[in-house]
Amino acid sequence: MTYKFSVLTQEQAEDIAFNWHYDGEYSFYDMEADEEDLEQFLNPEERGNAAFAVIEGDELVAFLSISKVTDRIFDIGLGMRPDLTGKGNGTRFLRAGINFIQSEFTPEKITLSVATFNQRAINLYRKVGFKDVETFMQNTNGSTFEFLKMEYKC
């Protein structure tokens, strides 16, 4: 099946925010883990047309947020429905997301930031072609965490 990307609706945003809960250390990615992130994600004006639902068949399986950094550089945030993670779905999803961004925006680079504890995601990003840029500390979820900034040259 093919992924379809469409602007995230309020109903979909609320489903993700309140029903997608990850196990163990990955609960770090629960939308409710950071009040500021949750408010932004649930605010239609903040999301604008930059957050996309990823549909497979008739099911919401993931989301992709895209922020324009410059005319040719776009930063992404993404998440897959918890019951689909860790099962080999990431490569196809990430490649589909990259293809979507390339077809909509013709970027020179796509960047993302990932918590350094999340080696599963980092390995996926590297496998698909993202390169490490730098690590930095970020205040989120009530504490400070180390993140890795990565980039994909289109």
For every residue of 100-132, DSSP letters joined together read HHHHHH--SEEEEEEETT-HHHHHHHHHHT-EE
73 within 8 A of 107, measured Cβ to Cβ: yes
User: For residues 116 and 97, what is the distance between their CA atoms, to the nearest angstrom?
Assistant: 22
Kindly report the pTM of this predicted structure: 0.95
What pLDDT does 121 receive? 97
Q: Per-residue confidence at 132, pLDDT binned at 50, 70, 90?
A: very high
Q: Per-residue confidence at 78, pLDDT binned at 50, 70, 90?
A: very high
What pLDDT does 142 receive? 86
Q: Per-residue confidence at 120, pLDDT binned at 50, 70, 90?
A: very high
Q: What is the CATH number of domain 3-153?
A: 3.40.630.30
Residue 56: what are its φ and ψ, rounded to 5°?
A: -125, 125
Token readout for 71 is 């005319």
What is the average per-residue pLDDT within 14-39? 95
User: For residues 151 and 60, what is the distance between their CA atoms, to the nearest angstrom?
Assistant: 26
User: For residues 64 and 5, what is the distance between their CA atoms, to the nearest angstrom?
Assistant: 9
Q: Per-residue confidence at 113, pLDDT binned at 50, 70, 90?
A: very high
Adjacent-strand bridge partners of 67: 75
| Lookup result for tokens 């689909």 | 84
User: Has residue 83 got a pLDDT over 90?
Assistant: yes
What pLDDT does 144 receive? 95
